Chains A and B, each alone.
Chain A
Amino acid sequence: MKSRNQTITRRVFLRRSASGAGWLALAGVWPGGAAQRNANPFAYDLERVSKTDPKLVRYEQAGRFACPARGPRRLALGPGDRLYVAARNGVSVLDREGKRLDHIAMAAPARCVAVAADGSVYAGLRDHVEVFDPKGGRLAAWESPGKKVWLTGLAVAGKDVFVADAGNRVVLHYDVSGKLAGRIGEKNKERNIPGLIVPSPYLDVKMGRDGLLRVNNPGRHLVEVYTANGDLESSWGKATAAIEGFCGCCNPVGLALLADGRYVTCEKGLPRVKVYSAEGVFESVVAGPESFPENARAGAQYDGSDGLLGGLDAAVDSQGRVYVLDLVAGDVRVMRAKA
């Protein structure tokens, strides 16, 4: 047996040193080390705010289907829970499972859609509204309301039609014949209205069962509540990347209302769909950024007409299920509340 104090020869010393150096070199090129070296020192880090606390997610996916038409922008639900998707070549009519029932072809991209109780379809093209009967026959094409018009949201209630014009930062109030009855949301000190700020083409409008309009004010990170006459009743919202607020420069980009008056909001950049109480208190998450990997990567597609297209839109059916349209992936997810 060799003694522990045995001296080593120069050759053994050199061999062991070379072996040790080899192991060190190997450790240096190990994938972890390489990743460390290649990490982008200028990365735009959203990781901290991109993760959703699972406890807050109170919806689960009940279905998912692709939009039959390219370039979907907005969706709405009509009588019988039929789904209407405004897209590049018109409005597609789908059943709850995404089966295409009909298609209303249009010469220009439909950017928003709403459906009346009688099944009449109102489609917003870039600068005007077109009206169709329930079978898709065109009834009217309204006159464009002016310059710089960029229609991105529609709501129908009884004999009133509300049209969100992102280009002019206003919600236009029409009657069903297309006659302009008023302008809502414009800056007005006397009426204590701060004005809509719409940096990108995502202005939405929804009519509640209480007869009040809900309008997103993305540049101020607010949801505003107006009467049909244009009086500002209240507003709520907070600019923060935290889950209880609205992230980025300009959110929310889409609204939907649950039967009890609670809100479903959609955001872009950090694509997430959330539920707020009727008073605007954060309640839960329908789907977080993890659910929309393509959308989250995006900043999305560049479209010469609309600029960057990303984001989500939502609609709620008679059973309280939330249909979420992913503008980037071009699909619809059906989300139901967890039992």
Chain B
Amino acid sequence: MKDMELIEEMLNCYIDGELDERKSNEVKRLIDNDSQIHSLYDSLKRYKNLMDTVCQVPAPEGLCDNITAHLEREVLLADTQIYSLKAGRRHLMARRLMTAAAVIALAAVLFVVIFDIFVPKSSRQQLLSNALRKKTIKQVLYEKPFADTKQQEDIKIVPQNSYDVPLVVILALKTNNPIEVDWLVAKALTTTDLFNQTAAIDRQSGAVRYVINCNNQSLISLIQELSFIWPQCTDTKIDIGTEQAGKYITVNNISARQVMEICKAENFGQRLRMANDLAIINKLTTPAIIDRLYAAVDIDYDLLVTQKPALTSTEKTQTAGQPSNDIKNATLTIIVISK
């Protein structure tokens, strides 16, 4: 099949006179010797002759004139100075722009007229109002609920001033020398100028009760003065008032230093925790051991007490105000009991 195509190609070249002498002779010999190729050659030759008979059509009249006129028009346009001068070009541009503007204006007028004719009045007003309405920003709450509001920073809240809750202390001292202890208490009250602030002194057989209303600082000073009494005492006990009236935390075998520590507590909560801790510790150990422990190591009680985590809320910080010396926010009841 491919050979036949090649032979046909060769025969066409032979008919068109495109072969050199050697190849031409070869093809001629092939045509003479092979009847099939001869037949094909004859057929091709006949088609070739037929195509050659197709006559040439004369070119349309005035073709040359048309071409020269076309060229001449272009030459004339190129030579016209209006297109080469700057002012001319500007003028041409202005004319073009004006034409474009006129066309746009005409189109706009046509649009308005068509709009007016075909669009109903109600739809027209709705369309116009929609077109004139300003774009509103859509607030998609579920996507960005707090996007535009600045989140407030957490503010540390300091627990309420401990001095707001009055310090109620009932100190019970059991002694073999009640007269001496009584005298020493009276002396301590005098020394600390708290004798005048003593609300009540109740002397009964076997027991004397002092009720003193003072501020916290004075109370600490008083306890410091009373520390001399402790060696005279056989048993000591303290009751720390809680928020609930009539309910106390009792700490047995309490030392003067422990009382002072409790009184120095920064706030009501710390005071209660300290009282609880000391109640447990004192149950396990003797007061002497604790005193020795305190003496040996200068323990800051704060180290023994776990700090509460700082609470947070949106309220502003409230700093704990220092207790005024004038405010009597502590009540100390000293009971001296004879053994």
A binds B: no
Using a CB–CB cutoff of 8 Å, the interface residues on chain B facing chain A are none
Taking beta carbons and an 8 Å cutoff, which residues of A are in contact with B? Answer: none
